[in-house]
Structure 1
């Protein structure tokens, strides 16, 4: 999903690691995070509400947001909403 978003900005060859920041490294703006949030919601449904996650952050935390934080949030959200048999 992230690669698709980056391709729209001509950044499909950008290096991405856990430490990569959306703002400083990828130069994405908050509106781009809204688009990413929509893509995550479309893919995972209500299980991953990235918009709510972002809404709980301060501006400096949003600016410093990393790929790793996004991945951790998605994994935690999916794990929290998994059926008991899926969590084992």
Structure 2
């Protein structure tokens, strides 16, 4: 009798897909916008910008960093990610760029 494969592995692999990470981050941002500003009908995609489209302030990015840490653990260091950017890059930061960073960080952590 063969044991049933443990589902955590497939869930873990799915966790590193762009689609799964985008869904996680979009959910975090939607919650943040709803809690802070009462906004709940914001469409968030890969090209959505934090500054121009979502109008997030620096304190919102701190909150987002905490949410990312809570969801993904220490493998995803948002502050370190931002520290490597020029001011203009931060102003133009898209959700897609953050998604790519999270996926790369999770895959790097998996690789060991």
State the TM-score bracket (shorter-chain normalisation): 0.7 to 0.9
1:78 aligns with 2:78: no
Partner of 1:66 in structure 2?
94
Q: Which runs of 4+ in 1 moved over 4 A?
A: none
Which aligned pairs between 1:1-88 and structure 2 lie closer than 5 A?
1-8=28-35, 9-83=37-111
- Paired residue total: 84
- TM score, norm. by length of structure 1: 0.87
Unaligned runs of 5+ in 2: 1-27
Give the alignment's Cα RMSD to 1 decimal: 1.3
Q: C-alpha separation between the residues in 2 aligned to 1:6 and 1:79?
A: 28
Unaligned runs of 5+ in 1: none
Deviations 1:9-65 (A, max 9, x none): 222211111111000011001221111011101111111101110111111110000
Q: Based on CA coordinates, which of the two structures has the bigger radius of gyration?
A: 2
Q: C-alpha separation between the residues in 2 aligned to 1:53 and 1:2?
A: 18
